[in-house]
Amino acid sequence: MKIALLHGPGEVGKRSELLKIRSHFSRNLVSIVDLKQDDIAKIEEIMLSQPLLFEGRRLVLVENAPETLDLEKLPKLAGELFLAVMAPSLKNDSLILKSAHKLGAKILLFEGEKELSAFPFLDALLEKKPQAFSELQKLLLDYGWVYVVTMIYYGLRRNLLPLPPQGFIQRKILAQRQNFHPQDFEQLYKLALQTEFNIKNGAMAEKVALAKLVQAFIG
């Protein structure tokens, strides 16, 4: 079993790295546990379960891992299972970081400075503003399509997950949610996945595929 701990304020960097990890696994063999909604016992349950109809390398993705998560208490399995753990910025003395070091996990820290340039695009997208198209072109030129798709996933997840504590970000998310029906976010997430698939397989050019995805957001 291999373990990777991805942490830090750089959400885009984490998501880009996660895309690389996920590309090595069949979609049917990827399981997700979100510790904002699920309890830790679900990680163990999924790790110990084996899909009946599919065989091969499995990925268990743990989202929103807290500092108090002790990775040493999870099952130590042989075989081709990859545990990817996503966490916010962690203190050096946090339990999750200490246990990751003890287990020899791959630990990656992602800073957040680069991501500031993507938020005008993300805000225009979720506020249904046509300027999302011009912001899209800037991001494609500077960072490439993987960065753009990763930010779109981040924006959608931010609207699908429970609201953060009161403050500016909460007010912004509430305002953006008013532009969509709740089921719209799930449909757009599926469309983003299909867009990524179409680009990777050469079915559509990057600019065309992403322009169509932006159009689906802004109507």
Question: Read out DSSP for 91-142?
Answer: -TT-HHHHHHHHTT-EEEE---GGGGGGHHHHHHHHTT-TTHHHHHHHHHHH
Architecture of domain 2-109: 3-Layer(aba) Sandwich (3.40)
How far, in Å, CA of 213 to CA of 135, rounded?
Answer: 14
- What pTM was estimated for this model as a whole? 0.59
pLDDT tens digit sequence for 190-210: 999 999 999 999 999 999 999
pLDDT one-digit tens code per residue, 44-88: 999 988 765 556 689 999 999 999 999 999 988 767 899 999 998
- pLDDT tens, 3-46? 999 999 887 778 878 888 988 888 888 999 999 889 999 999 99
Instruction: Give CA–CA dist 156/153, Å, rounded.
Output: 5
